[in-house]
C-alpha cells in the first residue's frame, strides 16, 4: 500500500465547480483538509460545496493565476484539473481554436504552477498533480488537438518532477480514461458540414458517447487523484479507466502500432495502416 502524507493540508483544486474537480474537492473536504476551489465566476457556482472556499481563476488570463496563488497563500497540494474537451477534424479546426485549447489546457495550468512554486520551494514541501488524459498515452483520430494538449501537460510534469524534487516538491500526472461526467455535452466540436472527414468522425463520436455512458464515475476518478496527491512518494503517472489495466499492460509487451489499432477499434474506427 502507498504510504500517505498525514495531517491537514491546504489544497487548491482548479475547475472545482463541476465534474472531476467538484468530486475531488468534496473528497478532500471529507478527509478534513482545507480546500480552495477555482471557478471563472466563483459567485455563480451552482452547487457550492460546504467547506470549500472559491477563488477566481481563468486559464486564459495568466494574471488571474498570480492573483489566485496570492489569495490562497501557503499551499500544500495543487490539483491542476481545469480544462476543456475538444474533438473534430484536425484540418477543420481553425488555428485560433487550437491556440485557445492550448491556453486553457496547458498554458493556464503552467501559469498557475509557476505562481505557486516559489512558496512551495521556500517551504520545501508541496505536491502538484496534473490531471491529463489517457488520450495522451493512447491518442486517437479526431481528438488530435486535445491529445496534444494533454501530452504537453504530461511532458511538463515529467520534466518538472526532477527539477523541483531537490526542494521537497512532488509532481505527478493522473490520466483519466472514459468518465461518465457529461463532459461530452460540453465538448467543443470542429467538423465542417461538408467535411471529407465527417462520416468517420460521426462514427467515432457515436462510439465515444457509448463509451462515456459506461465510463467510470467522477467519484472513482477523484479517489485516484486524491490518492496520488496524498502519496508520500507519488509515481510519475497514474491512470484510471475501465480499460486502463489492459491497455497499459499491452503497451509494455506488444508493438506500438497494435496498441494504436486497438485504441482506434475501441473508438469505432477501422484499422488503416499509413
Active-site choice (146, 156, 201, 238) = 146
Note whether 221 and 179 are within 8 A (CB): yes
152-190 b/e (C-beta count within 10 Å ≥ 16 → b): bbbebbeebbeebeeeebbbbbbbbbbbbbebbeebbeb
**In the numeric block, which cell numbers belong to residue 230?**
496524498
* Contact call for residues 230 and 164 (beta carbons, < 8 A): no
Tell me how far apart the alpha carbons of residues 34 and 55 are, in angstroms, rounded to a whole number.
13
3-state secondary structure (DSSP) of residue 53 = strand
H/E stretch holding 98 reads helix 95-102
Residue 146 annotated as catalytic: yes
**CA neighbor of 17 nearest in space, from 45, 36, 43, 58:** 45
Q: Annotated active-site positions, please?
A: 146
Amino acid at each position: 500500500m502507498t504510504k500517505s502524507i498525514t495531517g491537514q493540508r491546504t489544497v487548491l483544486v482548479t475547475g472545482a465547480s463541476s465534474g472531476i474537480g467538484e468530486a475531488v474537492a468534496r473528497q478532500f473536504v471529507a478527509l478534513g483538509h482545507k480546500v480552495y476551489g477555482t471557478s471563472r465566476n466563483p459567485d455563480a457556482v451552482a452547487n457550492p460545496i460546504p467547506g470549500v472556499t472559491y477563488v477566481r481563476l481563468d486559464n486564459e488570463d495568466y494574471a488571474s493565476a498570480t492573483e489566485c496563488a496570492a489569495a490562497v497563500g501557503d499551499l500544500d497540494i495543487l490539483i491542476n484539473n481545469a480544462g476543456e474537451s475538444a474533438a473534430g477534424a484536425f484540418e477543420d479546426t481553425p488555428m485560433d481554436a487550437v491556440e485557445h485549447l492550448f491556453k486553457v489546457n496547458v498554458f493556464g495550468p503552467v501559469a498557475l504552477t509557476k505562481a505557486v512554486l516559489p512558496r512551495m520551494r521556500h517551504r520545501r514541501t508541496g505536491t502538484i498533480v496534473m490531471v491529463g488524459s489517457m488520450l495522451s498515452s493512447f491518442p486517437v483520430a479526431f481528438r488530435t488537438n486535445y491529445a496534444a494538449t494533454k501530452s504537453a501537460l504530461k511532458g511538463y510534469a515529467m520534466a518538472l518532477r526532477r527539477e523541483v524534487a531537490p526542494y521537497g516538491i512532488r509532481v505527478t500526472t493522473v490520466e483519466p480514461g472514459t468518465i461518465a461526467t457529461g463532459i461530452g455535452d460540453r465538448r467543443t466540436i470542429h467538423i465542417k458540414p461538408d467535411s471529407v472527414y465527417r462520416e468517420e468522425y460521426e462514427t467515432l463520436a457515436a462510439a465515444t458517447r457509448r463509451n462515456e455512458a459506461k465510463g467510470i464515475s467522477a467519484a472513482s476518478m477523484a479517489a485516484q487523484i486524491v490518492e496520488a496527491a496524498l502519496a508520500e512518494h507519488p509515481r510519475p503517472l497514474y491512470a484510471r479507466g475501465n480499460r486502463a489495466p489492459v491497455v497499459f499492460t499491452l503497451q509494455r509487451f506488444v508493438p506500438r502500432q497494435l496498441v494504436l489499432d486497438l485504441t482506434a477499434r475501441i473508438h469505432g474506427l477501422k484499422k488503416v495502416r499509413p
